[in-house]
Amino acid sequence: MVLSIFGRAPMSKVTAPLGRALNATGLTPNSVTLIGTVVTVAAAVTMFPAGYLFWGTMVITLFVLFDMLDGAMARARGGGTRYGAVLDATCDRVADGAIFAGLAWWAVYSEDDKVLLIATLVCLVTSQVISYAKARAEASGLSADGGWIERPDRLVIVLVASGLTGIGRYFDIPVLQSVIYPAMWVLAVLSVVTVFQRVLAVRGSEGARDIITHTSVPPADGQAESA
């Protein structure tokens, strides 16, 4: 949440000219979204499981930042499309899932550490739930903003932790070799808290107690109309 609030304005000063430059190349915002997602997923599921934490982090960080330019490109074109917004949100979920899945794979096969695996799986699940809670609330005309951990915070924590751990192991720096362990548990706890914060925010939203009718928002996936 902190990065989402205080990092947006400075970042826009950097991304705006880059977005205009990419538009001049003929690339579209949607193509940038897809390129960033494909490379991020490929790096996460190949480099992390193989133990290349530092280099995997570098590649992922580069293309996560590259993926951020799609919004700047859209704004430079006068605004994005609804399809572009859905595509971007969907690709973000895929990329986040791949990052945590790659680390979970590494935790199992390289570290043989079930405790780290549990923390990573909690982060994987909650990263999806946090985003879904907000999207579902907004589709219902409610608010689920806020919470301790949003996507920028989550990415900074996991990528800094994996990068430092990779540096520690490559250069044999003991103090850095296990940074990812406490970082993943801190992220897991904060993410679980954020899920509850968003659910409570929805509960307190105006209109949250309104009865759903056939002409309003359809029931959530898997929810019977009589439930």
| CATH code: domain of residue 75 | 1.20.120.1760
Is-catalytic flag, 113?
A: no
Select the more confidently predicted residue: 44 or 147.
44
Which residues belong to the annotated binding site for Mg(2+)? 67, 70, 88, 92
Assign 225 a pLDDT band (cuts: 50, 70, 90).
very low
For residue range 83-103, list pLDDT tens digits in order.
Answer: 999 999 999 999 999 999 999
CA distances from 46 to 52, 82, 160, 192 (A): 9, 32, 19, 28
Query: What's the mean pLDDT in 192-212?
Result: 92
Torsion-angle region of 207 (φ positive above 0: left; ψ -120 to 50: alpha; else: beta)? left
Position 3 scores a pLDDT of 52
Please give the Cα distance from 55 to 59 (Å, whole number): 6
Please give the Cα distance from 168 to 166 (Å, whole number): 5
**Residue from 92, 96, 113, 153 carrying the catalytic annotation:** 92
Please give the Cα distance from 78 to 217 (Å, whole number): 30
Assigned domain for 213 exists:
no
Buried b (16+ CB within 10 A) or exposed e, 45-54: bebbbebbbb
Please give the Cα distance from 141 to 147 (Å, whole number): 18
Statement: residue 221 has pLDDT above 80: no
Assigned domain for 211 exists:
no
Assigned domain for 47 exists:
yes
The total of structural domains in the chain comes to: 1
Position 226 scores a pLDDT of 38
Assign 220 a pLDDT band (cuts: 50, 70, 90).
low
Which residues belong to the annotated binding site? 30-33, 67, 70-71, 75, 81, 88, 92
Torsion-angle region of 141 (φ positive above 0: left; ψ -120 to 50: alpha; else: beta)? left
Assigned domain for 152 exists:
yes
For residue range 110-119, list pLDDT tens digits in order.
Answer: 999 999 999 9
Please give the Cα distance from 80 to 76 (Å, whole number): 9
Which residues belong to the annotated binding site for a CDP-1,2-diacyl-sn-glycerol? 30-33, 71, 75, 81
- Which domain does 117 fall in, by range? 2-203
Assigned domain for 137 exists:
yes
Query: What's the mean pLDDT in 44-48?
Result: 98
Select the more confidently predicted residue: 117 or 12.
117
